Structure 1
């Protein structure tokens, strides 16, 4: 009698009805049948009608899963070493998925989206996944806003994610508020590699959450629009935890700044931040609320037609963060404006203990460069523009026979970090490591 009750209980457990999934729980199991003892005294499963020995349902991780109502149009391949649930979704004119909007609809956490070369118009997207990798393959895919925007903010809005975006070009974003961005980064950790942002009201624009991190590597920003509206900064980081920019090029601003950072910590290293001939950007580099700023190994230059006489500005809008310091080492600063200023520290708006280290910078032009805050000012050298050589787009290096070659002393360490450069900018965007042990010269290009 007890055995019969036990068998009955197994039948009840084995036969379940389909229910709507709750909290992403797995689907209810299929009926397996009832258990009984056969004529030989052995236990066996008696399957219900219309159930074959082997299920035709697709298998995930060795377990049967319910068939989807309709097959998602995904061109996918397994990513080596990735979790079993991750996929690679391929987007392109000759793929199953032809639009980025469709890829965004079907993508899940952990997926990779590969975008084939080509031109993609009106592909504004809000990315809501928590973990995602998006990369262009081959020649950089070109995304043209063509009047489209996500939530009136940007071509792409990154809601809250651990996300990597690589090898994509964003162009032509316009929104009614005047601050349409190629990417609006709202929360999380975003890494942007080998991307380009041209003719957007903002290249990248972030929100102001104190735990956000933005990393930009080997990317290009330029061609700020010249219509009325907000100031069009090429890269604008709000009050976030950290901004890191390396190996990237910024040029052709218009009234806005090339880089503006309100981050608690900013690391601006090995970039070409030069507005270019006829440029009319405001500051080339601005830290309006201070914070800890590392500015190492950059070429930074403003044109004679700049909209603002200062090249680098620190603290113009007063203190936001408890820790404030500017470390400016081995940069080449070019000022073609006769009455310009290489560096402006708004010390009257910052705490008196704010320190500035300016070491081994190469100053090109006749602009002002004087100590404005307590700290270290060593090894900075002034040269004429005519004394520099290099490729037309990068003619900011000392010639091999310059008496300044190899004369810079090691800039030392601060906060357990070396101020000596370990790389230098390389055209069109990127960086090359420096030879270890080679004597240092003032400036960015060794």
Structure 2
């Protein structure tokens, strides 16, 4: 009898467990959005999608359509070209065209423009979740291109994208503004023409900024790259052009608001720096920075750094004669340039592995013998 009762009890418990088990997760779906689709605007997909879904947005202009995305693991992609989200005076939560609250989101081939809000931080994307990858996307004429919050578990990756003419003109809004996240990676991208603010500002604990063009053009931008809290950082293989109208004489600033991140190690390797102001400093760093400056080309006036004791090797000032077409911002080096075969060795993890290819692409940097100075290998 005891054995029978135990068996019945076990059977009852098993049945109860089966009836209370959570439902199986639905398989990821693909949603199609477009003027001729059942879902005519991205905001409709934001209301319908589930975790892990893909939203394909037809290339068209979606004027005044804003959205908050709360799902995890979304892929949001323009098809047939870039899908253009034009704010037209609207914003999600008073913050952005898209507020992304879910984790691990991928945004590909989307264009964001015209985001303005009363606090002057209207962004193309306001990133509030953990983890964002942006590829082949454009951000322009917003108060901020991308603005992220603070999240120590968040990694931000930006590839082959363009940021231009962003900023509210107040000095507190920027082309790209990344908060205190775990890491930022920017490669193969073109950032230019910020309005008073910085071209790129990051408070990330780790920064990898490799193979980009960062240029003020005719704008009144401040720093080209601002890493105000330090962090373990690599700035390599970039073409960085400070315009004559820049409101700050420094191109790269490190630790200006205090070295509050866990690392104060900075490597600035194989960049081509162009200063079109009448004075300036190419790299400024706070006291306590462990800075290493290698193989950079300097064009124009200004000091390499404001830290005389900085570990600096094979950095060279040159004129315009050794470049392909400097008047058109083509600073690839010619075979007769004094930059050829003049580079010093750099530990592998800190090398410039990529070159910028205009517009907004990248290619592996290949060397033939000794590395050349600057952002490009001579061909």
TM-score, normalized by length of structure 2? 0.90
| Aligned: 1:122 with 2:64 | yes
Q: Which has the higher strand share?
A: 2
Kindly report the root-mean-square deviation, in angstroms, between the aligned alpha carbons of the 2 structures. 2.1
Q: Which moved more, 1:227-236 or 1:327-336?
A: 227-236
In structure 2, how many angstroms separate the alpha carbons of the residues matched to 1:312 and 1:23? 58
Give 1:287's aligned residue.
227
Query: How many residues are aligned here?
Result: 360
Task: Give CA deviations for 1:107-148 in whole Å, capped at 9, x if unaligned.
Answer: 011110000111111121110001100100122111100011
Give 1:202's aligned residue.
144
Shift of 1:421: 2.0
Where 1:101 maps in the other structure, the secondary structure is helix
**Equivalent in 320, 326, 329 of residue 269 of structure 2:** 329
| Aligned: 1:303 with 2:243 | yes
State the structure with bigger RCO (CA 8 A, min sep 6), 1 or 2. Answer: 2
In structure 2, how many angstroms separate the alpha carbons of the residues matched to 1:144 and 1:260? 24
Give 2:55's aligned residue.
113
Give 2:283's aligned residue.
343
Alpha-carbon contact 2:365-2:376 (below 8 Å) kept = no
Q: Residue 24 and residue 208 in structure 1: after superposition, are their counterparts in 2 closer, same or farther (change >3 A)?
A: farther
Alpha-carbon contact 2:322-2:336 (below 8 Å) kept = no
Task: Give CA deviations for 1:53-107 in whole Å, capped at 9, x if unaligned.
Answer: xxxxxxxx9xxxxxxxxxxxxxxxxxxxxx9611110111111211111111110
Alpha-carbon contact 1:345-1:373 (below 8 Å) kept = no
Alpha-carbon contact 1:178-1:230 (below 8 Å) kept = no
| Aligned: 1:174 with 2:116 | yes
Where 2:207 maps in the other structure, the secondary structure is strand
| Aligned: 1:389 with 2:324 | yes
**Equivalent in 347, 351, 356 of residue 425 of structure 1:** 356
Give 2:339's aligned residue.
404
| Contiguous gaps of at least 5 residues in structure 1 | 1-21, 27-60, 62-82
Where 1:102 maps in the other structure, the secondary structure is helix
1:28-43 matches, within 5 Å, as: none
1:129-144 matches, within 5 Å, as: 129-144=71-86
Shift of 1:390: 3.6
Give 1:258's aligned residue.
199
Where 2:331 maps in the other structure, the secondary structure is coil
Where 2:156 maps in the other structure, the secondary structure is strand
Alpha-carbon contact 1:279-1:302 (below 8 Å) kept = no
Task: Give CA deviations for 1:364-405 in whole Å, capped at 9, x if unaligned.
Answer: 112111461755210001011344224864421222222331
Shift of 1:321: 1.6
In structure 1, how many angstroms separate the alpha carbons of the residues matched to 2:185 and 2:109? 18
Task: Give CA deviations for 1:309-340 in whole Å, capped at 9, x if unaligned.
Answer: 11111111112123211100000011111111
In structure 2, how many angstroms separate the alpha carbons of the residues matched to 1:176 and 1:24? 47
Give 2:188's aligned residue.
247
Where 1:105 maps in the other structure, the secondary structure is helix
Give 2:104's aligned residue.
162
Shift of 1:437: 4.7
Shift of 1:441: 0.8
Q: Residue 151 and residue 398 in structure 1: after superposition, are their counterparts in 2 closer, same or farther (change >3 A)?
A: same
Shift of 1:199: 0.2
| Aligned: 1:211 with 2:153 | yes
Task: Give CA deviations for 1:399-438 in whole Å, capped at 9, x if unaligned.
Answer: 222233122233x21xxx4332222001110101123555
Give 1:145's aligned residue.
87
In structure 2, how many angstroms separate the alpha carbons of the residues matched to 1:346 and 1:166? 36
**Equivalent in 139, 158, 175 of residue 234 of structure 1:** 175
In structure 1, how many angstroms separate the alpha carbons of the residues matched to 2:206 and 2:303? 26
In structure 1, how many angstroms separate the alpha carbons of the residues matched to 2:154 and 2:180? 9
Alpha-carbon contact 1:91-1:97 (below 8 Å) kept = yes
**Equivalent in 28, 34, 39 of residue 92 of structure 1:** 34
In structure 1, how many angstroms separate the alpha carbons of the residues matched to 2:156 and 2:303? 32
In structure 1, how many angstroms separate the alpha carbons of the residues matched to 2:322 and 2:275? 14
**Equivalent in 290, 300, 303 of residue 355 of structure 1:** 290
Give 1:372's aligned residue.
307
Alpha-carbon contact 1:300-1:331 (below 8 Å) kept = yes
In structure 2, how many angstroms separate the alpha carbons of the residues matched to 1:388 and 1:139? 34
In structure 1, how many angstroms separate the alpha carbons of the residues matched to 2:308 and 2:226? 17
| Contiguous gaps of at least 5 residues in structure 2 | 1-18
Task: Give CA deviations for 1:219-249 in whole Å, capped at 9, x if unaligned.
Answer: 0000135x55563300011111101100000
Higher CA-based Rg: 1
